[in-house]
Amino acid sequence: MFFLLFDALQNFVNVMGGIMLFFFPFLSPIGAFMVAWISAVLSVAPQFNIAFYIVICVILVIAGIFINSYWPGDKPLAEESKYDEDLLEEQSTDTFEEEGE
């Protein structure tokens, strides 16, 4: 009833409805496929055991903290660091040779 009172909202609803009706034949079969796999997963999901989901959530958060502590993503590439090591080795060898001369 609320939507019928305002022309602008009525037009908006019509446009949205038109878009949805246009996409419905394409997206609906994909949606049905999605529903099939989701139903399969949900059939094995524990029912009325909220503690199970709380534990999983806590494990995910703790795992995230550990992963970010060990691999924060600010280390240079392995190839680059190897390149740096090689460069350092070359420099030290050159210095040693110079000193030897």
Three-class secondary structure assignment of 54-72:
HHHHHHHHHHHHHHHHHCC
Among the listed ranges 4-12, 39-47, 82-90, 91-99, the one in contact with other proteins (CB under 8 A) is 39-47
Taking a C-beta distance cutoff of 8 angstroms, is the pair 10, 4 a contact? Answer: yes
Largest CA distance in the chain: 96
Q: How far is the CB of 42 from other proteins (least distance, A)?
A: 7
Per residue in 10-24, is it b (16+ CB within 10 Å) or e — as a string?
eeeeeeeeeeeeeee
Among the listed ranges 6-14, 33-41, 86-94, the one in contact with other proteins (CB under 8 A) is 33-41
Binding flag, residue 87, other proteins (CB under 8 A): no
Contacting residues toward other proteins, per CB under 8 A: 20, 23-24, 26-35, 38-39, 41-42, 45, 48, 50, 53-54, 56-61, 63-65, 67-69, 72-74, 76-77, 79-80
